[in-house]
A = this chain, B = another copy of it.
Amino acid sequence: MSLVVVGTLGFDTVETPFGRRDDTLGGSASFLGTAASYFTPVQMVGVVGEDFPEEHLDFYRSRNIDTSGVEKLPGKTFRWHGFYDTNLGVAKSLETQLNVLESFDPTLPSEYRSARYAVLGNIAPELQSKVLDQLDSPQLVAADTMNFWIEGSNAALKKTLKRVDILSINDGEARQLSGEYNLVKAAEAIRAMGPKILVIKRGEHGATIFTNETIFMAPAYPILTIKDPTGAGDSFAGGMMGYIARRDEVNDDILRQAVIMGSTLASFAVEDFSLDRFRRLTEDEVRLRFSEFKNLTYFEAHGTKIWDEH
């Protein structure tokens, strides 16, 4: 089943301990859509300026991403400049130019409206709601957000959250949104705001998923060289939702697999700058790493041979 993806499309200038790249392809919708495209056809919604080269749209299309929902407006494309120090944790934003994003008013092509799955990347919660307004009967909606909206658009965000099934945010944002330090309590509070499923992204420590029935902890794949963390969270959400759309069903088993698939895509995203790792990533590599995740956490819960056997 196809997956509607909305978010930013733009140019990133990124500095990490491994180098600097200027004006590379970035934006939440770029990572969301590309990661999801390994599993399912994607319908992309976004806005670019006149300076956005056709080759980037060609790249999306080469990944089976429908770009008819990408508007081109007069003016310049969204730009972001970020810096990571040696710990490669949260980026320091050196500059953000909204440009055409300031006048973005998403209109979905009619073919998009029947989509059963949607993932709302990190943009203004009002825009996220506008996308939802245009979907006939979405089955499962995932959303991302950030501290900027938690602080500045709290009421709008709360409205959007009521319509969201899966929220993925990082641990700091979960604490901020809920006002609870303990993540188990934070999850309870946030799930009461709407999303039945909460994904707390913990960067190099993996992700924890809270649902009504269960808590699931996905490890992060141990990577020798993380070149550029940009897009890891979006690649995670894109991989997760792409997998769910492909299965066209959600239960605890599929959700757990989806989270590991998201972690798999995120682990590749950070191995190179921009979307470069995806440009050469094969299905075989994805399949192999997914199965490697199994061994990272597997242990034999029976056969401890203590107590009962003595």
Contact = CB atoms under 8 A, between A and B. Distances in A.
Interface string A188-230: 0000000000000010111010000011111100111110000
Q: Which range contains the number of A residues in contact with the other chain?
A: 35 or more
Interface in A282-310: 283, 287, 290-291, 293-301, 304-307
A140 to B, nearest CB: 17
Contact of A298 (B226, B243, B256): B256
Contacts of A296: 215-217
Interface stretch (A43-51, A71-79, A178-186): A178-186
A298 B184 CA distance: 19
Contact of A215 (B202, B222, B307): B222
Given A184-B224, A205-B206, A253-B299, 10 more contacts: A86-B181, A182-B226, A184-B222, A202-B205, A243-B306, A247-B305, A247-B306, A287-B307, A297-B297, A297-B298
Protomer copies: 2
A110 interface: no
B214 A246 contact: no
A306 B215 contact: no
A216 B297 contact: yes
Contacts of A290: 301, 304
B257 A300 contact: yes
Given A222-B215, A224-B184, A257 B202 contact: no
A94 B297 CA distance: 37
A103 interface: no
B287 A294 contact: no
A295 B257 contact: no
- 8 closest pairs, A vs B, by CB? A297-B297, A205-B205, A256-B299, A217-B219, A294-B301, A184-B222, A217-B296, A184-B224
B224 A257 contact: no
A260 B297 CA distance: 10
A56 to B, nearest CB: 27
A181 B219 contact: no
Contacts of A183: 204, 222
A86 B287 CA distance: 41
Contact of A260 (B181, B215, B283, B299): B299
A39 interface: yes
A50 B305 CA distance: 41
Most buried by B among A204, A223, A299, A300: A299
